[in-house]
Structure 1
Amino acid sequence: MGKSSTTAGLPDELRRRLGVSDAVVIGLGAMIGAGIFAALAPAARAAGSGLLISLALAALVAYCNATSSARLAARYPASGGAYVYGRERLGDFWGHLAGWAFVVGKTASCAAMALTVGAYVWPGQAHAVAVAAVVALTCVNYAGVRKSALLTRAIVAVVLAVLAAVAVASLASGRADTARLDIGSDATAGGVLQAAGLLFFAFAGYARIATLGEEVREPARTIPRAIPMALGITLVVYALVSVSVLMVLGPDGLAAAAAPLSDAARAAGADWLVPVVRAGAAVAALGSLLALILGVSRTTLAMARDRRLPHVLAAVHPKFKVPHRAELLVGAVVAVAAATGDLRGAIGFSSFGVLVYYAVANASAWTLTPGEGRPHRLIPAAGLAGCLALAFALPLSSAVSGAVVIALGAAVHGLRRIHTARSATDDPGIHDRR
């Protein structure tokens, strides 16, 4: 029998439209977002002069995760990312846990990005603007992933131009001083690790490429090329921006900054650049939100296909070739969270889930054989250890709330297995019908 299709003429296959450049841009749109505008100050408060060490550590963990994800995505080019990898390589439980961690954690990230848009566009009405942004970008995604990729390309271009302007203005000013870098003079191991966890949050978007596996042309070739390219470009941009801001503000000034890139532009004597930076931050958050909604809806689709979530969410629109019901549900949940939530709480809540997701990806990559394209064993081992270390370096409240949510996901899996076992006992033919 050939490929099946769902009822009512809804095909169960997504359309492969994205090439290497589209996939790289989607990854850049997810990584080069609001994180670089917001994460530098709290990271500097944690690490002090060790900020650049933290950036290097975060990049190292991200590289390990990217390499593991790329090898797995090439072998399993289906929507779902580590949900699929964990299920296929480690077993049903770990796949479920990865998918749960991703959907819950990244839904919180969506709310955080939406609230960031509101804070920069109209601080007095941040929640209303956040909800409007969610609705608008859900409509864009509903119209098709290709349109999303084109919009993301434009957003990335704007954000890169703003970041370049800040770096040039800072480095070219007479107030830039290399002595302010003073790398590691007052840093502690715990502070560096906590700052790396904060900065890693800004790198995490490369997984968006893997979760779009069913919409990428030649995934075995495209995904392994796109992930490290997007990560490399992001690292260079972050390093240049971090160095330039540190040279103008110094570690203490950066740690005290409410809006570090705006403050750096002002300290460099480029007051005209301040409103541009504010606009760039809002655009960056929109880019991240766009890519996040894409990724969460695709993982929701994969879990719904396997009945981990209601199967009605597995539908693919016959015209637009997108998981429209999953996208509408994700958009509605994020809109509610953005209307009622808190930015700092949303970011802290999501971080633990993101690191658990990548830990499962690294553990899955460890099980690959050389014939399956396994990376050097040191890479997934370092990635797994790094994810766990960064997770437990998070503030206690974030770690506890994240652990509770992960435990809830494990309980849901256990209840589902009990229900399935009872159903099979009552009706032995149930597995055949499924």
Structure 2
Amino acid sequence: MKSLFAIVLTIGVIAALPATAQQAGPVVTFTIDDSTADQMAGARILSKYGLHGTFYVISGSVGTAAHLTRAQLDELKAAGHEIGGHTVSHPDLTKIAPDEARRQICADRATLTEWGHQVTSFAYPFTAYNPDVQRFAAECGYTSARSLGDLRGPRDCLDCSTAETIPPENPYDVRAPDLVTRDWTLADLQSLVLNASSGWVPIVLHQICDGCADLSLSPAIMDAFAAWLVARRVQVRTVHEVMGGPVRPVVAVPPAARTALVNPGLEDGPPDANGLPICWSTAGWGENKVTRTRTNDAHTGQWAQRLDVISHRNGDAKILPDFDLGTCAPSATPGRAYRVSAWFKSTGFTQFAVYRRLATGGWVYWTSSPPVGPSLEWSEARWMTPALPRDSTGLSFGVALISVGSLTTDDYGWTLTGSGPRARAS
């Protein structure tokens, strides 16, 4: 039975549905996730044929390496494409605290709106949602939220429906075929349309490039598909054009103001032997072979975390507080310096690696301490950071293993040391 929540929302969508979306024949929507820079190639292809798509943007990644810039978002808007929300930092919304999930959804929409976009459409990262997450999407002002994998694809879900209804039965569970991957052909894309005599076919794309990633589509195939749609006079609409309705007000969500590390002793976590501590994540970069285990060789308490770099070419490996909006990562003040610390044992070279959260909620690497040599006994590493740059709202740090060897860490700490030298604009 449809929930009262879904019934009320669906009635509102029916009342606002534009006439173009009620016409006979399938309606196709290009939905493009994750805001990678190569998606501009896809936007240019759509514009070439007078078509428009919906670009679901991770606001915290905008302006970072290999992602769209604010100027490119403006270019998409000027060309008639829709900007939708995809959270601040693309977490699995079902695996984080409810307050953090709501903040991720609302803050993303607030930032995109502040940048001048009319944001009504949302897509769940990793297709992960539950009733609470659906409710947050509605409460944050979105009029739709797209999932995927529940419509028939070329090789998947062959007994599923061929199209979503207009309007969807649940606007916060808009169905779509599974992800387009680099092995999809022009015929595969055409089959999505040919199998649907009516209804709505949202197509889920990621990167637009030749074999650059598993979730990529060749520009040549996208061009041929767009030309085919135009030749057949298939309706192509953005998500907002299909859903209709007004742009709802932005919902303000106060930022978290955490001043202490969560779970600094790495004790709290799932019962399985290899579980990560609550509020901590693995991180690293480079071409290395790394393993991580939970160990009872702890400095205090029962548990510590061990990293083993088996082969090392460049980069590092570490654990550090989650890159979030304040449920786990502590808030920090621009212009202030912080003393970070941790107890460690290592057979390789280590250093502190520090990341900062931007005002948009995105995270970027900031700085590192000088390297420290091996220590076969428990030792405490301490380091005072420089003054935190402007446009910073939080910190995350960890002891990084930067060579072949093992590293065991426990009992992390941080302290505000007072005013540092005035930070320059970043």
TM-score between the two structures when normalised by the length of structure 2: 0.25
Query: Which entry has the higher C-alpha Rg, 1 or 2?
Result: 2
More strand by share: 2
Higher helix share: 1
User: What TM-score, normalized by structure 1, do the two folds share?
Assistant: 0.24
Larger relative contact order (Cα-Cα within 8 Å, sequence gap ≥ 6): 1
